[in-house]
Amino acid sequence: MNFRWILCLGVLGVCMGAFSQQKVLPQLGKDPVKDIIAAMTLDEKLDIIRGTGMKFTTPNAQGTVAGNIGGKVPGAAGSSHAISRLGIPAIILADGPAGLRIDSARFEDPDCYYATAFPIATALASTWNTELVNQVGKAMGNEVLEYGVDVLLAPGMNMHRNPLGGRNFEYYSEDPLISGKMAAAMVNGIQSNGVGTSIKHFAVNDQESNRNGVDAIVSERALREIYLKPFEIAVKEADPWTVMSSYNKINGTYASENYDLLTTILRKEWGFNGLVMTDWFAGRDFAAQVKAGNDLLMPGRKREVRSVSKALKEKTLAEVELDRNVEKILNVILRTPAFRDYKYSNAPDLNAHVSIARQAGSEGMILLKNEDRTLPVKSTNIALLGNASYDLFVGGTGSGEVYKAYTISLFQGLEDAGYVLDKDLENKYKGYVAKENAARPERQSVLDVVKPVDEMHLENSDLNQLAEKNDIALITIGRNAGENSDRCVETDYYFNEHELKLIENTSKAFHKKGKKVVVVLNIDAVVDVTKWRNCVDGILISWQPGQEAGHAIADVISGKVNPSGHLTTTFPLNYQDVPSAKYFPGTPAETPEKTIYNEGVYVGYRYYNTFKKQVAYEFGYGLSYTNFDVRKVKVNSGTFDNEITVNLKVKNSGKVAGKEVVQLYLAAPGKTMDKPESELKKFVKTKLLQPGESQNISFTLKSSDLASFDEEQSAWIAESGIYTIKIGASSKNILMTKTFTLKEEVNVEKVNKVLVPNEVIEKFKQ
């Protein structure tokens, strides 16, 4: 064999070797995930368990600064690493929950990448309409898919523990059942598009003050019944692909480093099978995060690699623990559009989503007051007052902000509805608001909250003239909040002097002429109403209703839509009445190291109704332009045997079509356990009922609906005794009651004794 032959054979050998090596390399989707993991190097595993990092870009088209992961979807919050030799694509994660947050403008690209701004979560929950929320989810998920995103970082379902919570607008309610049901409807809607969700922030992240360090100290019972419950419902009813652990500590341990939270409860008790990711830059001990079952560390930093490698070397972390997390991540990647190589259009049908945003916006509005049928407004000339009438807040700031194509102003909405508005007043307000906005310091980041500008002063003579020329006055008062800071009692919860004067003086001027005044609350969260509500004839909470705001509000003002929203969070008489007021946001007040949930399960109406505290507007409250009767409430048995069914009929007994929310509260015997006066257990939103039309409603209660969490036994226990079913139009407006007996105590479910508080929590007293 001459030298040339030897060389040829040698080259052939190398090529065949390379070829066979290529062939044996497993590929994600074609080969079992276990084989992929076996073929991964340690460096690859350390890549896959953390994101690709995050850098901030220059301000985008909206004048905000969005996180840019570079590459595929600018403005998305993060992405995972690709490992192409094993067929593992990168996946893209982007924020919600009021719509997809991505940059609308791209470098050297003339196209716009707008997303629909839907109503904030509190507004969606106020519809009490899970089907509608599911539709919003479907539309939102379509935008996620068509913009090349794999997982939407939403919905959020922390609790409205206190009205000052800076991210309450991103959350649904003070009640865990409403929160869980809304979240499940949303997750099911979004995920029906073949994209994922990340339910957040797991758990007890109910404040922004020192959110990265605060220790939330909560009893086992309050944890199980109030703070974990919404997540449990969402996991069991909607199977979200991912869960985002929260920044804070719970009873001494960071949520993201908490094995009992992320593995014992989430996976073992509830059967969650997806991946857990950290909130952005959360926690301190990265190896502990991996150990706890926090699979993906976001947005991803070098220091995580160093710390996890060190723990592996020192054997405080085993490679099987790392592999377990890698497996979870790969299993989620397998479900993504990126893995399917979905050819996204970058052009979702935004027009198709406009009507859903508008309907959800108007259906989430709550009519608080309507003296002498002030609303709907049948006359034509409206004096439109208040800065927010000309500069509505349609969503909050922070990661929940959405870069939308437009906002329908209230002025435009009312004009489109056929009302006649004062152009001079419009120009005056617009000029004032623009000047005040221009005088503010430039927004440096998406975390800078845009607060309302001070109300424009109007002389009494101006108001008298307006009262002369117009049929009615409509005053919009705005509020805004966002991630990273809580709200302030003095300047945010209570109205300031200028706002109070505007309402008072306008009312005087209009009432003198026998004309009415309506206040629209364009708010993110609960505000005081007691100092001014007696001056006015009508109050409508519009919340922050998304980009179709002006149309959605006008739909209710005009009566095109009959308001059917109900409160999912209580409006107290006074901030000091809030059960957590004394403990929020914790101690020391400046940078709270801990916040003790002394109020236990007595959050919101559970507190007010049990301790007989008067409130301004109770949980579940909301007026309509029509009336409803509840009739024929029947329980199928007087004795509870595994379940019990309640049937009833609801009838529209008024003159216009409308929808009603039927609420079922349950009062337990409370012999051996402390029990709230009653708790929401079931609800339903009727279809649009025409005058005279009825709908049959049926609710079935299971033993789990009767149970409370017993800390001694670490179990959900249904006490024996007499239970009262209360059918209400709110938590206080109870229309019918029925009783049944549970003969013997039922141990509904035994769970693990975990997340025990690290200090004594006093039994809650008023």
* Active-site position among 279, 422, 528, 555: 279
Spatial strand order of the sheet with 366-370 comes to 366-370, 538-541, 516-522, 472-478, 381-385, 420-421
10 Å CB burial of residue 640 (0-12, 13-18, 19+) is buried
Binding mask 350-389 for ligand BGC (x = CB under 6 A): ----------------------------------------
Rounded CA gap, 140 and 569, in Å? 25
Residue closer to ligand BGC by CB (options 28, 153) is 153
Residue closer to ligand BGC by CB (options 28, 152) is 152
The structure tokens listed for 716 are 């959900």
> Which of 45, 106, 200, 369 forms a contact with ligand BGC (CB under 6 A)?
200
Alpha carbon distances (Å) from 130 to 135, 364, 556, 687: 9, 12, 20, 12
Contacts of 576 (CB under 8 A, 6+ apart): none
The structure tokens listed for 714 are 């670490």
Binding mask 399-438 for ligand BGC (x = CB under 6 A): x---------------------------------------
- Contact between 264 and ligand BGC by CB under 6 A: the answer reads no
Residue closer to ligand BGC by CB (options 398, 565) is 398
CB 571, CB 529: distance < 8 Å: yes
> Which of 153, 523, 717, 742 forms a contact with ligand BGC (CB under 6 A)?
153
CB of residue 170 to ligand BGC, shortest distance in Å = 8
The structure tokens listed for 599 are 């109020």
- Contact between 77 and ligand BGC by CB under 6 A: the answer reads yes
DSSP structural state of residue 336: S
Total of chain residues touching ligand BGC, rule CB under 6 A: 8
> Which of 146, 279, 448, 710 forms a contact with ligand BGC (CB under 6 A)?
279
Concatenating the DSSP letter of every residue in 63-99 gives: S---EE--SSSTT-SEEBPPBGGGTB---EEEE-SSS
The structure tokens listed for 589 are 């007040």
Residue closer to ligand BGC by CB (options 280, 723) is 280
CB of residue 329 to ligand BGC, shortest distance in Å = 17
Q: Tell me the residue ranges of DSSP E strands in 242-358.
A: 242-245, 249-250, 253-254, 275-277
Rounded CA gap, 450 and 453, in Å? 9
- Contact between 168 and ligand BGC by CB under 6 A: the answer reads no
Peptide bond into 585 cis (omega under 30): yes
CB 331, CB 84: distance < 8 Å: no
- Contact between 280 and ligand BGC by CB under 6 A: the answer reads yes
Residue closer to ligand BGC by CB (options 280, 709) is 280
* Phi-psi map region of 611: left, alpha, beta (phi>0 left; psi -120 to 50 alpha): alpha
Residue closer to ligand BGC by CB (options 67, 572) is 67
* Phi-psi map region of 468: left, alpha, beta (phi>0 left; psi -120 to 50 alpha): alpha
Residue closer to ligand BGC by CB (options 77, 635) is 77
Residue closer to ligand BGC by CB (options 280, 716) is 280
Binding mask 652-691 for ligand BGC (x = CB under 6 A): ----------------------------------------
Helix (H, G, I), strand (E, B) or coil at 455: coil
Q: Tell me the residue ranges of DSSP E strands in 597-693.
A: 615-617, 628-635, 643-652, 661-667, 679-685
DSSP structural state of residue 195: -
Peptide bond into 240 cis (omega under 30): no
Residue closer to ligand BGC by CB (options 256, 407) is 256
Rounded CA gap, 427 and 411, in Å? 11
Helix (H, G, I), strand (E, B) or coil at 299: coil
CB of residue 255 to ligand BGC, shortest distance in Å = 12
279 catalytic? Reply is yes
Residue closer to ligand BGC by CB (options 47, 483) is 483
The structure tokens listed for 738 are 């029925």
Helix (H, G, I), strand (E, B) or coil at 396: coil
Alpha carbon distances (Å) from 166 to 282, 381, 396: 18, 37, 9
Alpha carbon distances (Å) from 498 to 433, 495, 525, 573: 15, 8, 20, 21
Rounded CA gap, 280 and 677, in Å? 39
Q: Within positions 93 to 132, which residues make up the interface with ligand BGC, using CB under 6 A?
A: 95
- Contact between 705 and ligand BGC by CB under 6 A: the answer reads no
CB of residue 77 to ligand BGC, shortest distance in Å = 4
CB of residue 497 to ligand BGC, shortest distance in Å = 34
* Phi, psi angles (nearest 5°) of residue 223: -60, -55
CB of residue 153 to ligand BGC, shortest distance in Å = 4
CB of residue 247 to ligand BGC, shortest distance in Å = 7
CB of residue 85 to ligand BGC, shortest distance in Å = 29
- Segment holding 245, helix H or strand E: strand 242-245
* Phi, psi angles (nearest 5°) of residue 615: -130, 170
Q: Is the Cα torsion angle 282, 283, 288, 293 positive or negative in sign?
A: negative
Tally of CB atoms within 10 A around 655: 11
Q: Within positions 444 to 503, which residues make up the interface with ligand BGC, using CB under 6 A?
A: 483
Residue closer to ligand BGC by CB (options 199, 684) is 199
Residue closer to ligand BGC by CB (options 95, 363) is 95
Q: Within positions 386 to 405, which residues make up the interface with ligand BGC, using CB under 6 A?
A: 399
Helix (H, G, I), strand (E, B) or coil at 440: coil
**One-letter amino acid of 229:** K
Site residues for ligand BGC per CB under 6 A: 77, 95, 153, 200, 279-280, 399, 483
**Residues labelled catalytic:** 279
